[in-house]
């Protein structure tokens, strides 16, 4: 440990410690645990089942009833290891399973989980709540035979009353097995406290200043002042841009005063850079990248391919399969080589859980090959999947968190050393916030960075509701320890915006822009100051970032000023149960 001499015998020592000063809340803790592993026996129900009656089926079928009315039957079974569970068999319809009636309050947020299995084959099983207002999907998971899969989700309801929980599976030839069901209500205040706890863990770090005199005794009454050196949060928070920002000083000023990362809307897509076969044109993308570099704004690479048949260059569909292969490989070689090392990550084959254009033409492992080729050309850049409805709609089984992670694992199995990431487009209408948290929990089990890459909210419910929903989603995402960046999809052009604008045409904030500015201000590093206590200590919690710290004591006129960096943990992906080490600043003052 190095001691740095200073005038007036004021000494400064910087070091790191493996202690943890935790943040405590007076609320029921949220269980972030989730797994995509298929286990021989299910884990215990979260929250001991919450408000579910007989969650472990210890008492047979008590609390559970047959559901569907189309001939399906239910029975109680026990495994060789003594584990009890419920079985739906002789099913004729997807919803021929079992149910439990539960009273739900509209003011609560509900966390749901269950363990599922099917008698043979595999396929998605969905948890559904039938309410007086309709049907609400709590989430889905891929069920397999021979092992148990975790289904984690959540929901809110529009009105209080009784609801009926049931499960559905399109594989009517298979039995559906369920065990260890949990439904835990949280109040809005409890939910918000979890978010605060998550932000304190993921975005901040404990800092402790310890002041001693020349004899090594604790010194009371020293003045400590932390002032941030930057105006923006270290957490990557950005917005999409398009070519209209070039030469538009008002748009540039508005963007640069707020955001720390960006992505190009359409200008890098294949149909934009090669409108005519063999005639590549990167003029717009090059100019936009130059603008970003000039202003120190990192850029996401979006996208190498788009797997939808509707968004190929219009000359591609007329080619033969072999010609499409040659054209696709040329496209990948061209764009990745041109921008190698200049983007923070690449969206490799956009939306390839929903679409399989290249897979149908080039073979089932087309996406795997694209990831491999892109990584070989740009090995330092992380390669992302990018998909919609993984967070936005709990009823889309094609892009459920379980399906997403399964596809990601397929890519890793094909090319093990590739650094991958999870991109979530996040085009919301009415958000299901408990499901968003549960989905992020499940995705976090993959152990790779998660970004919300194209976040917007439709205006169908009015501008004030749109802004309220946007704030809810942003707070939830920012507070989750696995989320490493957020990009809004709200670029203006001469005709408006895609689905969500943040400003009017004169760059005056709309309600959504007001929300964004409020959260930017809330999330940026803040001034912190105080005095050392009788133990010579001052403790504070600071956002990650660079600070100027000044320390003095009333007994001396000298003030020491130093730069102090509050760092995030070394690991790029934090587990919600990990202990985060604080920074400790030791100061010795001769008095």
Q: Is 476 a known active-site residue?
A: no
- Find the catalytic residue in 387, 454, 471, 537: 454
Backbone dihedral angles phi then psi of residue 518, each to the nearest 5 degrees: -60, -45
The CA distances from residue 382 to 184, 346, 352, 369, in Å, are 37, 6, 17, 15
Which residues make Cβ contacts (< 8 Å) with residue 83, sequence separation at least 6?
41, 42, 179
Beta bridge partners of 161: 104
Long-range CB contacts for residues 73-81, cutoff 8 Å, separation at least 24:
74/98, 77/177, 79/41, 81/41
- Exposure pattern of 532-568 as b/e (b: 16+ CB <10 Å)? beeebbbbbbbbbbebebebbbeebeeebeeebebeb
Residue with tokens 């850049």: 381
Sign of CA dihedral 32, 169, 166, 130: positive
Which residues make Cβ contacts (< 8 Å) with residue 282, sequence separation at least 6?
273, 338
Q: How far apart are CA 550 and CA 50, in angstroms?
A: 50
- Find the catalytic residue in 351, 387, 425, 537: 351
Q: Is 454 a known active-site residue?
A: yes
Q: How far apart are CA 114 and CA 42, in angstroms?
A: 9
Q: How far apart are CA 140 and CA 152, in angstroms?
A: 7
Helix (H) or strand (E) holding 114: strand 109-118
Structure-token pair, residue 233: 């949060």
* Burial (Cβ within 10 Å: 0-12, 13-18, ≥19) of residue 322: exposed
Q: How far apart are CA 299 and CA 342, in angstroms?
A: 8
* Catalytic residue IDs: 351, 454
């Amino acid at each position: 440990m190095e001691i740095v001499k200073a005038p007036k015998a004021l000494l400064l020592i910087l070091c790191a410690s493996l202690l943890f000063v935790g943040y405590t809340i007076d609320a029921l803790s949220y269980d972030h645990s989730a797994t995509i592993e298929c286990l021989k026996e299910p884990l215990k129900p979260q929250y001991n089942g919450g408000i579910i009656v007989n969650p472990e089926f210890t008492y047979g079928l008590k609390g559970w009833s047959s559901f569907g009315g189309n001939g399906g039957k239910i029975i109680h079974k026990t495994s060789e290891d003594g584990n009890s569970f419920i079985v739906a068999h002789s099913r004729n319809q997807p919803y021929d399973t079992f149910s439990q009636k539960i009273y739900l309050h509209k003011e609560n947020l509900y966390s749901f989980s269950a363990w599922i299995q099917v008698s043979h084959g595999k396929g998605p099983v969905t948890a559904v709540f039938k309410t007086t207002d309709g049907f609400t999907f709590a989430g889905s998971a891929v069920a397999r035979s021979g092992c148990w899969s975790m289904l984690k989700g959540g929901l809110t309801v529009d009105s209080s009353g009784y609801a009926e929980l049931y499960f559905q599976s399109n594989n009517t030839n298979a039995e559906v097995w369920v065990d260890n069901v949990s439904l835990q209500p949280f109040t809005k205040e409890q939910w918000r406290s979890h978010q605060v706890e998550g932000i304190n863990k993921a975005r901040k770090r404990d800092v402790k200043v310890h002041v001693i005199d020349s004899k090594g005794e604790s010194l009371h009454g020293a003045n400590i002042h932390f002032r941030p050196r930057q105006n923006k949060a270290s957490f990557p928070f950005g917005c999409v841009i398009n070519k209209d920002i070039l030469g538009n000083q008002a748009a540039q000023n508005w963007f640069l005063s707020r955001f720390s990362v960006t992505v190009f809307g359409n200008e890098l897509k294949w149909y934009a850079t090669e409108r005519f076969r063999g005639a590549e044109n990167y003029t717009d993308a090059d100019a936009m990248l130059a603008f970003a570099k000039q202003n120190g704004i990192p850029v996401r690479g979006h996208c190498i391919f788009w797997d939808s048949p509707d968004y190929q260059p219009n000359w591609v569909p007329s080619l033969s399969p072999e010609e499409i292969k040659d054209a696709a490989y040329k496209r990948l070689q061209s764009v990745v080589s041109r921008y190698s090392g200049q983007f923070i990550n690449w969206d490799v084959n956009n939306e390839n859980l929903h679409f399989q254009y290249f897979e149908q033409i080039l073979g089932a492992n087309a996406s795997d090959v694209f990831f491999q080729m892109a990584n070989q050309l740009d090995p330092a850049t992380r390669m992302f999947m990018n998909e919609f409805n993984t967070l936005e709609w709990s009823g889309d089984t094609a892009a459920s968190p379980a399906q997403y992670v399964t596809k990601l694992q397929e890519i890793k199995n094909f090319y093990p050393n590739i650094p991958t990431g999870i991109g979530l487009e996040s085009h919301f209408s009415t958000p299901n916030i408990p499901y968003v948290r549960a989905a992020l929990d499940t995705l976090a089990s993959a152990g790779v960075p998660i970004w919300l890459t194209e976040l917007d909210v439709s205006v169908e419910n009015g501008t004030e509701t749109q802004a309220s929903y946007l704030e809810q989603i942003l707070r939830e995402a920012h507070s989750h320890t696995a989320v490493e960046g957020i990009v809004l999809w709200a670029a203006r052009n001469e005709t408006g915006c895609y689905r969500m604008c943040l400003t009017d045409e004169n760059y005056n904030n709309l309600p959504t822009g007001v929300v964004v500015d409020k959260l930017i201000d809330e999330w940026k590093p803040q001034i912190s100051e105080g005095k050392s206590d009788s133990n010579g200590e001052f403790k504070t919690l600071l956002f990650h970032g660079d600070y100027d710290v000044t320390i003095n004591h009333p007994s001396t006129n000298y003030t020491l000023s130093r730069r102090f960096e509050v760092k995030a943990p070394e690991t790029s992906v934090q587990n919600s149960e990990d202990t985060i080490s604080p920074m400790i600043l030791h100061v010795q003052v001769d008095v």
